[in-house]
Amino acid sequence: MVNDKSIDSYNELIADGTISTRQQQVMKCLKEELGMGTNRMIARTLGWDINRVTGRITELREKNLVVPAGDYYDEETNRTVNMWKCL
């Protein structure tokens, strides 16, 4: 469950133009739908190509809005990948 402070902070970021529409969609996906997820999980949830997600994650990391949440073994690629979560 998302607390009121998180919602207020998120709304401020949107209102002042700190994050783009696509970044908003990624953050909303993580906050409201997944809680935490890999790039592939986010892409599937949003119906996007994974390359569209990786760029947004990089941008959100640079803004200190998304942080690593641990490792996840992706059976599809046979690799260990990052899980992400919003601050």
pLDDT tens, the chain, 87 aa long: 445 555 556 555 555 567 889 999 999 999 999 999 999 999 999 999 999 999 999 999 999 999 999 999 999 999 999 999 998
Q: For the whole model, what pTM was predicted?
A: 0.79
| Residue 18: CB atoms within 10 Å | 12
Q: Could you say which of 1.10.10.10, 1.10.3720.10, 3.30.360.10, 3.30.450.40 is the CATH number of the domain covering 4-86? A: 1.10.10.10
What pLDDT does 19 receive?
81
CA–CA separation, 4 vs 68, rounded Å? Answer: 23
What pLDDT does 87 receive?
85
CA–CA separation, 80 vs 70, rounded Å? Answer: 10
